[in-house]
Amino acid sequence: MNILTNIAPVKIMLATLAAGIVLLPAMAGAQVLVPSGSFHSVMPEVKGEPVKVDSFYLDTTAVTNKKYNEFLQDHEDWQPQNIPSIFAHKGYLKSWKNANSDDIVNPDHPVTNVSWYAANTYCQSIGGRLPTLNEWEYSAQLMDFDSPSDAQEFASRLMSWYSTVDNENIGAVGSSGIENSHGIKDQFGLIMEWVEDFKPVIANDLSLDCGTVGRMQQLGNAYSYAASIRYITRMSFTPKSTNSTVGFRCAYDVEKITEKEASL
Amino acid sequence: MKPLTLTYTILIGLLLSGIANMSYAQTDEYKMDGMTFGMPEAEVFTEDYDGPPVVGDHLSMLPNLEPLDYEGNKTHDVRIDIIAQEIEVADGVKYEAWTFGGTVPGPVLHVKEGDRITFTMKNRSDEEVTITQPTKEGSPFMQQVAQNNFMKAKEATMPMPHSMDFHAGTVAKNDKWRTIAPGESIKFDWVANYPGSYIYHCGTPSVLMHTAMGQHGVVVVSPKDGYDTGYEIDKEYVVVQSEYYLKKGSGELFQYDYEAAQNRNPSHVVFNGHQTILHDQPLKANAGDRVRLHFSNNGPSGTSSFHVIGAIFDRVWLEGHPFNEMRGMQTVLLGASSSATIDLIVPEEGKYILIDHEFADAEKGATGTLKAGPRKK
């Protein structure tokens, strides 16, 4: 049964979402192929026209503190004491007690307080890129529920999550218990994530208005309401923003991964 | 990283920044009917400010109204920062509120008709801010919270975009009421053109969620010539009704109940932000006093049938405007974001219960006490 918009079934563990924390092995670095398809965005769009998305690879989890620290070792320019102020606000990596130490606190937790510039550079440094907004949302919708009430329950919990994100106690990657039908974890329930075009071009027209939420109700369900909150939040960011609940994961063009495999 | 890629990244970044910094066509200042319109464009910037979140002379904690101690009009320099704060709204019911200044509702601002307000606000939702330490630079509000922390406020963080919408201001919302990201500040001017009591709230979508999470307060604009009554009042209080939509989370804290908010089924309906505060700390007066209540229904969605058991409202000015005078009202019906300024005569020593006469709301907490001592005059 396709409650959200489309596509293949996956069982969401609502009970584990409620519990908040399930210790799954951290799959940092693993990528999976998200096959091409289409989805209905919550953004105002041509009526009935789904957004087409080509296949791409996506990290199964967000980039961790450990991985980001490895990046910093090879990219001294992006260390907190060196980063030019045009690339990040002062809160850059502020959650790291000592950003110069090898002892990374919470190595398996998602890195946060990183600017869009930093996230972008990280992904490029490993041959990837940030996922586009459409890729991210499409992947996030690759879920299914047993019944409309399960979907409603999920969306309702998602809304509550926005009001209780505890940035002091964000869990390890993979700990949200939420994954899509291809094994991509934590697109909800852990942190918010940077995407390449985080501020849609139509943001100007929407201008974060009171009516925005209403116009984003095209899917007519609680999920679209929850997703609209995410779009609206993104629209207020600037590329220098560093927030304690915003991290990222990387995406990869199919050709690049294929080339890499061919060269092995 | 290859220089070419970096250049590309910077260009895209600048483009995305550019979208954030739209500029607005502005109208020059002008007068109409003796009122001032056409404010300068708002400034959005980043600053290192980490001082008291509420700064200014005429800002107080509910139910106080900081007296106006000046002749004529003046410009108020006011700061109300946005901070997250864990607060208690009923016995054992705590949640991480999104607030203006740290309490729900936020501080009461008192100005005079025709005053100009230079308002600064930093979105500190991603910063731990303490509101219970008295500070020299802070407002009377900060002192009052330090002395009487009835919401048991504790530092919390929850980075979200926010904005400020003063109903007392007459400006273009796409400029002054702009949404700012965590870490950003906004500064703009507005003139209190109309006398009365006006709510302020966060206007960022979802406006229902932002207001329900605690982002609302009141500005009292006293008429420049006062209310035409021929008498002095003895006591003046501000009472604010609002609803919470909360359910128990997985831990100790409560959290936002999206469905309840959509369905207008509040878990708590309260006066002055807390289910029992106006019983625990009753409003005080004496028999024979004339008491003035600035009553505001901040919603976000409910109506209020405000009544005081044992009293009749001697005079009522709807929205607090001196032209809107009514007499002898038992109940004032107020939709969300409506207010009334109410004068009543306290008949005799004893207790008078303030209540939303929509009893379903009263039984969710919308009650309070006015405690009257013996006649002294």
Query: Which pLDDT tens digit goes with each residue over B273-292?
Result: 999 999 999 999 999 999 99
Residue A36: other Cβ atoms inside 10 A: 12
* pLDDT, tens only, B170-179: 999 989 999 9
Gap from B5 CA to chain A (nearest CA, Å):
8
Gap from A240 CA to chain B (nearest CA, Å):
9
Cis peptide before A44 (omega within 30 of 0): no
The DSSP 8-state label assigned to residue B260 in this structure reads H
pLDDT for res A5: 40
Residue A196: other Cβ atoms inside 10 A: 21
Q: Give the CA angle between residues B82, B83, B88 to the nearest 5°.
A: 125
Gap from B84 CA to chain A (nearest CA, Å):
10
Indicate yes or no: CB of A197 within 8 angstroms of CB of B16.
Answer: yes
Indicate yes or no: CB of A228 within 8 angstroms of CB of B206.
Answer: yes
Residues in chain A, how many?
A: 264
Whether residue A173 is predicted with pLDDT greater than 90 in this model: the reply is yes
Indicate yes or no: CB of A210 within 8 angstroms of CB of B205.
Answer: yes
Gap from B187 CA to chain A (nearest CA, Å):
17
Q: Is B213 on the interface with A (CB under 8 A)?
A: yes
* pLDDT, tens only, B171-212: 999 899 999 999 999 999 999 999 999 999 999 988 999 999
Average pLDDT of chain B is 94
Lowest mean pLDDT among A140-144, B68-72, B333-337: A140-144
pLDDT for res A98: 63
SS3 A46: coil
Q: To the nearest whole percent, how much of chain A has pLDDT over 70?
A: 73
The pTM score is 0.89
pLDDT for res A13: 37
Gap from B16 CA to chain A (nearest CA, Å):
7
For B184-206, give one letter per residue: b (16+ CB within 10 A) or e: bbbbbbbbbbbbbbbbbbbbbbb
Minimal Cβ distance to A244: which of B46, B95, B159: B159
Query: Higher confidence at residue A163 or residue B79?
Result: B79
pLDDT for res B165: 98
Contacts of A260 (CB under 8 A, 6+ apart): A127
Handedness of CA A249, A251, A256, A258 (dihedral sign): positive
Minimal Cβ distance to B20: which of A197, A199, A210: A199
Q: Which of A120, A134, A173, A146 is nearest to A41 (CA)?
A: A134
Q: Rounded CA gap, A18 and B298, in Å?
A: 32
pLDDT for res A147: 82
Q: Is B20 on the interface with A (CB under 8 A)?
A: yes
Handedness of CA B122, B126, B130, B136 (dihedral sign): negative
Nearest CA in chain B to A125: B1
Q: What is the mean pLDDT of residues B35-64?
A: 96
Q: In what order do the strands lie in the sheet with B82-90?
A: B154-155, B82-90, B93-100, B254-256, B246-248
Indicate yes or no: CB of B16 within 8 angstroms of CB of A236.
Answer: no
Nearest CA in chain A to B252: A164
Lowest mean pLDDT among A7-21, B28-42, B62-76, B290-304: A7-21
Q: What is the mean pLDDT of residues A93-115?
A: 83
pLDDT for res B201: 98
Label the pairing between strands B235-244 and B290-299: parallel
Residue for token pair 């926005």: A162
Q: From chain B, pick out residues whose CB is under 8 angstroms from the CB of A199.
A: 16, 19-20
pLDDT for res A4: 43
Indicate yes or no: CB of B182 within 8 angstroms of CB of A241.
Answer: yes
Indicate yes or no: CB of B13 within 8 angstroms of CB of A212.
Answer: no
Query: Higher confidence at residue B254 or residue A258?
Result: B254
pLDDT for res A115: 96
Name the band, by pLDDT with cuts 50, 70 and 90, for residue A224.
confident
Residues in chain B, how many?
A: 377
Q: To the nearest whole percent, how much of chain B has pLDDT over 90?
A: 87
Which of A211-215, A219-223, A228-232 holds the top average pLDDT? A228-232
Lowest mean pLDDT among A35-49, A242-256, B98-112: A35-49
Name the band, by pLDDT with cuts 50, 70 and 90, for residue A240.
very high
Q: Is B250 on the interface with A (CB under 8 A)?
A: yes
pLDDT for res A201: 66
Q: Which of B291, B261, B272 is nearest to B352 (CA)?
A: B291
* pLDDT, tens only, B156-172: 999 899 999 999 999 99
Name the band, by pLDDT with cuts 50, 70 and 90, for residue B16.
confident
Gap from A17 CA to chain B (nearest CA, Å):
10
Q: From chain B, pick out residues whose CB is under 8 angstroms from the CB of A163.
A: 95-96, 158, 209, 213, 255-256
Name the band, by pLDDT with cuts 50, 70 and 90, for residue B247.
very high
Q: What is the mean pLDDT of residues B116-128?
A: 96
The letter for the amino acid at B111 is V
Nearest CA in chain A to B18: A238
| Helix A222-235 / helix A133-140 crossing angle, nearest 10 deg | 150
The letter for the amino acid at A258 is T
Nearest CA in chain B to A246: B159
Q: From chain B, pick out residues whose CB is under 8 angstroms from the CB of A120.
A: 9, 13
Minimal Cβ distance to A222: which of B1, B158, B258: B258
Whether residue A223 is predicted with pLDDT greater than 60 in this model: the reply is yes
pLDDT for res B296: 98
Residue for token pair 């090898």: A102
Structure tokens at B22: 């739209």
Q: Rounded CA gap, B373 and B377, in Å?
A: 12
pLDDT for res A202: 59
B79 pairs with which residues across the strands? Answer: B55, B120
Lowest mean pLDDT among A216-230, B44-58, B121-135, B350-364: A216-230
Gap from A163 CA to chain B (nearest CA, Å):
6
Query: Higher confidence at residue B69 or residue B251?
Result: B69
pLDDT for res B245: 97
SS3 B52: coil
Lowest mean pLDDT among A41-50, B19-28, B63-72, B143-152: B19-28
Indicate yes or no: CB of A244 within 8 angstroms of CB of B259.
Answer: no
CB pairs under 8 A between A and B: 138
Query: Higher confidence at residue B328 or residue A217?
Result: B328
Indicate yes or no: CB of A238 within 8 angstroms of CB of B249.
Answer: no
Q: Which of A16, A83, A236 to mutate to test the interface with B (most CBs of B within 10 A)?
A: A236
pLDDT for res A20: 34
pLDDT for res A162: 83
